[in-house]
């Protein structure tokens, strides 16, 4: 199929997915670029439609994969590509995928390592944390109240495909945190007043790492659920680390203790 008009009804429906209300209503979202489409297909994600820039043709990295999928394939003009991705320099390919089903039972495993985000609004930070969680083999990432929409195109891009590798769950922390405690999981947060460092804490048991926004930290309700507070020691003059960098340091210390003791 080829589409040349930005007024095409299918184009309008795909472009609408740039807005959260339409993503929520349809249960679909946009994945942009060769790498994200490739990762989605390799992971077996439910990709319904793939749109190729007709002037650039099918990217070489996708030729074999596209021959193995039964998703709808569309060729479109650069104007259509731009309308559906909301960018001045549209990618050579984008896809429409169904939001993945997230298995909540993964959260409560005996060796659970989960990152829980509370009010983290920056899509780049959230995407980087999901990538770090994927890299260390964490079991899931949970986005609580006040976090950026997981399926915001900027968030999706910043995950670099890790969104398709582990469960990322948008949930109510007032329900999930008490349930974790009932499963014997320790809830760990960071605090500048903590006496224990991230290196003295024992990460070998089931642990959820709770991270708040840089400006406000954890909300009062979430802070009240924390079992242990730790601090990342800093010996230079920097005042703080951003939440993505701090989360990555903590996740890699957990990995070191669990796999490389």
User: What's CA 63's distance to the chain center, in Å?
Assistant: 26
Domains of the chain, by residue range, sit at 2-98, 104-259
- Phi and psi at 115, nearest 5°, equal -100, 130
- Least Cα distance to 42 among 124, 163, 167, 168 occurs for 163
Count CB neighbours of 145 within 10 A. Answer: 15
Q: Which residues pair with 186 in a beta bridge?
A: 207
pTM: 0.93
Residues 61, 66, 70, CA angle at the centre, nearest 5°?
A: 160
* Predicted local distance difference test score (pLDDT) of residue 238: 85
Residue whose structure tokens are 């979202």: 29
pLDDT at 115 over 80: yes
Evaluated on CA atoms 129, 131, 133, 135, the torsion sign reads negative
Distance from C-alpha of 157 to C-alpha of 37, rounded to nearest angstrom: 11
* Predicted local distance difference test score (pLDDT) of residue 175: 94
Tell me what percent of the chain is helix, strand and coil, each rounded to the nearest 5.
40, 20, 40
184-206 pLDDT per residue, tens:
999 999 988 888 999 999 999 99
Burial class (CB in 10 A: 0-12, 13-18, 19+), 120: buried
CATH number of the structural domain 2-98 = 3.30.1330.30
Give residue 55's pLDDT band: very low, low, confident or very high (50, 70, 90). Answer: very high
Instruction: Please provide the average confidence, as pLDDT, over all residues in the chain.
Output: 93
* Predicted local distance difference test score (pLDDT) of residue 67: 84
pLDDT, mean of residues 10-25? 96
The CATH class of the 104-259 domain is alpha beta
Parallel/antiparallel/unpaired status of strands 113-118 and 207-212: parallel
Distance from C-alpha of 68 to C-alpha of 14, rounded to nearest angstrom: 23
Topology match between the domains 2-98 and 104-259? no
Distance from C-alpha of 32 to C-alpha of 81, rounded to nearest angstrom: 10
* Predicted local distance difference test score (pLDDT) of residue 136: 98
116-164 pLDDT per residue, tens:
999 999 999 999 999 999 999 999 999 998 999 999 999 999 999 999 9
């Amino acid at each position: 199929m080829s589409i040349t008009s930005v007024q095409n009804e299918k184009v309008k429906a795909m472009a609408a997915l740039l807005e959260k209300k339409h993503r929520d209503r349809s249960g679909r979202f946009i994945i942009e670029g060769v790498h994200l489409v490739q990762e989605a297909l390799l992971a077996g994600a439910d990709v319904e439609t793939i749109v190729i820039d007709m002037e650039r043709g099918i990217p070489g990295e996708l030729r074999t994969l596209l021959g193995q999928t039964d998703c709808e394939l569309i060729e479109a003009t650069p104007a259509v590509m731009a309308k559906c991705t909301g960018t001045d320099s549209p990618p050579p390919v984008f896809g429409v995928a169904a939001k993945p089903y997230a298995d909540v039972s993964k959260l409560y495993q005996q060796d659970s390592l989960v990152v829980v985000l509370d009010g983290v609004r920056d899509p780049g930070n959230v995407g980087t944390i999901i990538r770090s969680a994927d890299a260390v083999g964490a079991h899931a990432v949970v986005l609580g109240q006040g976090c950026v929409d997981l399926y915001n195109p900027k968030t999706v891009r910043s995950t670099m495909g890790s969104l398709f590798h582990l469960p990322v769950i948008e949930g109510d922390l007032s329900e999930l945190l008490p349930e974790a405690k009932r499963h014997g999981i320790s809830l760990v947060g960071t605090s500048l007043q903590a006496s224990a460092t991230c290196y003295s804490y024992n990460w070998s048991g089931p642990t959820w790492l709770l991270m708040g926004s840089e400006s406000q930290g954890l909300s009062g309700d979430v802070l009240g659920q924390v079992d242990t507070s730790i601090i990342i020691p800093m010996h230079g003059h920097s005042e703080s680390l951003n939440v993505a960098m701090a989360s990555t340091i903590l996740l890699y210390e957990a990995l070191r203790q669990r796999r490389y003791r």
